[in-house]
Amino acid sequence: MKVIEHIIKARDPLFSYEIVPPPRGHSIKDVVDAVEILAPLNPPWIDVTSHGSTVYFQEKSDGSIQKRTLKKRPGTLGICGVLQNRFKIDTVAHVLCLGFTREETEDALIELSYLGIENVLALRGDTPNFKKTVRNDQTINNYACDLVGQIKDLSNGKFLDELDEALPLDFCVGVASYPEKHFEAANLKLDVQNLKRKVSAGADYIVTQMFFENQKYFDFVKECRAAGITVPIIPGLKVLKSATQLKSVPKNFYIDLPTALVDEINASPEHALEIGSRWSRKQVEELLAFGVPSVHFYVLNDVHAVAEIVKSFK
């Protein structure tokens, strides 16, 4: 079932989750174990992140240095297939612009369709630390709105090459948003206009970056509605579990943490998980009262605290 259909048909609060593939060389067991904890909570869908290739230098046993280009976290398509077909949970595969050609994207979308996956999240992605060679017969999507357009073309049976009697690949498309604005945007108003371009290209719903002050989400939704954006806007949350995250989360995700939350964790760092869980639970209460279409948790693969929060609303 498509994400938008889950939202339309819901009679009770929806809680969705986002997990990441294991690092190269690790087992899928950690992902499966995490989903087995989430499955009894009847998640309508689970997002699986995608990661582009990166360049690094490896010292070999003979002392020589070798340049390597690879994905450190492959497996998005495979994990989506496992979740959808083993656990019968709808999955949302993250699809990236940067680091991939439109031809590679089309191939990936065809494979997702073969697996019975109907949902994707279209993202620009992080800028690779290397320049990918694109052949003269290949093309790229520069922005998420371009990627959304390509996916929607496939929904109309329009492939990159003209194909006789081509069948459509009908995906529900989500896009990302930033209640505190994208770090590259000059201001929130311009960022909302960029978001509107993605919606105009065909996005069916929006999911936000994590935030820790609900008022920022409320203000953001108001700004979006004023700009003419009408699709569902799903809030994204994360449970802080350690004092070290007070530095790593703002640095990695370009967000601010509330003074009250920071002060409380700094005063009792040994109780960081308890404090973070209590804070998230309060956020959920307020968001549900506001009437959000769903609550999306960035669990990565550490699901226990999130599971306990969600159980309290079941």
| Maximum Cα–Cα distance across the chain | 66
Confidence (pLDDT) at 64:
42
Rounded Cα–Cα distance for residues 47 and 60 (Å): 37
CA angle 102, 103, 107 (to 5 degrees): 115
- The pLDDT tens digits of the residues spanning 257-288 come to 999 999 999 999 999 999 999 999 999 999 99
CATH of domain 3-311: 3.20.20.220
DSSP per position, 7-60: HHH-SS--EEEEE-PPPTTS-THHHHHHHHHHGGG--SEEEE----EEEEEEE-
Confidence (pLDDT) at 133:
66
Q: Residue 192 class from Cβ within 10 Å (0-12 exposed, 13-18 middle, 19+ buried)?
A: buried
Confidence (pLDDT) at 74:
77
Q: Residue 92 class from Cβ within 10 Å (0-12 exposed, 13-18 middle, 19+ buried)?
A: buried
Confidence (pLDDT) at 276:
97
Confidence (pLDDT) at 169:
94
The residue behind tokens 């800028």 is: 127
Nearest to 81 by CA among 35, 38, 37, 13: 35
| C-alpha dihedral (186, 128, 105, 138), degrees to nearest 10 | 100
Name residues of the chain where pLDDT drops below 70.
Answer: 52-72, 127-134, 137, 301
Q: What is the pTM of this model?
A: 0.91
Q: CB–CB of 105/56 below 8 Å?
A: no
Confidence (pLDDT) at 37:
96
Domain borders along the chain are 3-311
Confidence (pLDDT) at 56:
44
DSSP state, residue 131: P
Confidence (pLDDT) at 99:
83
